[in-house]
């Protein structure tokens, strides 16, 4: 069973939590100044740890000006409420999903071991909320085949038929449910990209890290890997500015349809998404 089907079946349980509790819970907290002049409000303990710091620059002059005053305060408190409600919803969905899908996990682990060898999981450091790194989990889809000089072969040559099946059905993403359970990811949000991309973002593109990365997102249901990097990052920032539980439910339902149709799996002529080389001045520093 696809994880998005499970998510959609349970999404209605909590979609109104924010309307009942979310705003009143955090409206009075006033978390103080944002990390950057145009950034998102965060509690003091949300600052990145010293190890592997991925700090936002205060891009006051280059980032668009944000609304200020009472209206902005109310909007900020509302988004804080959405964050709390999203975490509750994440747990309500992911715990039964892990139980229901455990036989699928077992079968895929055995198949990965047969077709790709060990290890069956792909682990890679990715930037999460506010750029903090975490270990992303996926099922392997490529071999470790190498050139005579020891370098890895191109992705197209290492991607196996079984790996293509996992990617086209999004089954390779199933282990990310563990990242959701740990609070490193959410069901919906911008996809976690590579750490090396952080210095390449423009100030506006870097705002995609104001929320937790997601298993699926607005860009994934509006083109996925078949659209340009600039469009994909623009859609990520649009989600940051317009996020709500109702939008998350819509994205989950759209994801089911896109997964069934296998839309936007790759760009024409590429086995995987081509590397993002940047499109503007950086707003983030690489890890220290």
Residue 4 is predicted with a pLDDT of: 52
pLDDT in tens, 38-94: 444 444 444 444 343 344 443 333 445 454 444 445 455 556 667 899 999 999 999
pTM for the model stands at 0.71
The mean pLDDT value for 193-201 works out to 96
Poorest-confidence range of 32-46, 56-70, 96-110, 239-253? 32-46
Distance CA 178, CA 263 (A): 25
Mean pLDDT computed over every residue of the chain: 77
Task: Catalogue the long-range contacts made by 148-156 (C-beta closer than 8 Å, 24 or more residues apart).
Answer: 154/271, 155/271, 155/272, 156/270, 156/271
Residue 272 is predicted with a pLDDT of: 66
pLDDT in tens, 131-179: 999 999 999 999 988 888 888 888 888 999 999 999 888 899 999 999 9
Residue 238 is predicted with a pLDDT of: 98
The CA distances from residue 17 to 24, 81, 272, in Å, are 11, 9, 38
Residue 21 has pLDDT above 80, yes or no: no
What percent of the chain lies above the pLDDT cut of 70?
65
Best CA proximity match to 190, nearest among 209, 165, 171, 205: 209
The CA distances from residue 25 to 19, 193, 252, 271, in Å, are 11, 32, 26, 46
Residue 155 is predicted with a pLDDT of: 83
The CA distances from residue 36 to 127, 200, 222, 238, in Å, are 18, 18, 29, 18
Residue 152 is predicted with a pLDDT of: 86
179, 149 Cβ separation under 8 angstroms: no
Residue 95 is predicted with a pLDDT of: 97
Residue 279 is predicted with a pLDDT of: 76
The mean pLDDT value for 211-227 works out to 92
Q: Map residue 216 onto helix, strand or coil.
A: strand
The mean pLDDT value for 2-14 works out to 50
| Selected residue with higher pLDDT from 162 and 34 | 162
- pLDDT confidence bin for 273, thresholds 50/70/90: confident
Residue 22 has pLDDT above 60, yes or no: no
- Cβ neighbours of residue 225 closer than 8 Å, sequence gap 6 or more: 264, 265, 266, 267, 272, 273
Distance CA 204, CA 193 (A): 16
Distance CA 156, CA 148 (A): 17
| Selected residue with higher pLDDT from 270 and 246 | 246
- pLDDT confidence bin for 105, thresholds 50/70/90: very high
Neighbours of 33 (CB within 10 A): 9
């Amino acid at each position: 069973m696809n994880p998005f089907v499970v998510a959609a079946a349970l999404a209605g349980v909590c979609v109104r939590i924010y309307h009942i509790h979310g705003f009143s819970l955090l409206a009075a907290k006033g978390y103080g100044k944002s990390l950057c002049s145009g950034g998102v409000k965060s509690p003091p303990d949300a600052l990145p740890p010293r190890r592997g710091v991925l700090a936002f620059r205060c891009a006051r002059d280059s980032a668009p000006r944000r609304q200020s005053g009472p209206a902005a305060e109310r909007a900020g408190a509302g988004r804080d409420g959405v964050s709390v409600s999203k975490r509750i919803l994440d747990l309500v969905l992911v715990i039964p999903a892990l139980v229901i899908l455990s036989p699928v996990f077992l079968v895929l682990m055995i198949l990965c071991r047969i077709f790709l060898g060990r290890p069956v999981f792909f682990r890679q450091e990715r930037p999460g909320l506010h750029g903090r790194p975490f270990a992303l989990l996926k099922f392997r889809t490529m071999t470790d085949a190498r050139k005579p000089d020891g370098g890895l072969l191109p992705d197209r040559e290492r991607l196996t038929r079984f790996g293509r099946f996992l990617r086209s059905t999004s089954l390779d993403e199933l282990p990310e449910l563990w990242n959701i359970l740990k609070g490193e990811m959410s069901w919906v949000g911008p996809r976690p990209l590579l750490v090396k991309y952080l210095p390449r973002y423009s100030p506006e593109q870097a705002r995609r890290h104001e929320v937790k990365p997601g298993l699926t997102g607005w860009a994934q249901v509006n083109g996925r890997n078949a659209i340009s990097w600039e469009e994909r990052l623009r859609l990520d920032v649009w989600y940051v500015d317009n996020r709500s539980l109702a939008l998350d439910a819509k994205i989950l339902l759209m994801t089911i349809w896109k997964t069934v149709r296998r839309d936007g799996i790759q760009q024409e002529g590429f086995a995987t998404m081509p590397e993002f080389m940047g499109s503007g001045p950086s707003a983030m520093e690489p890890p220290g």
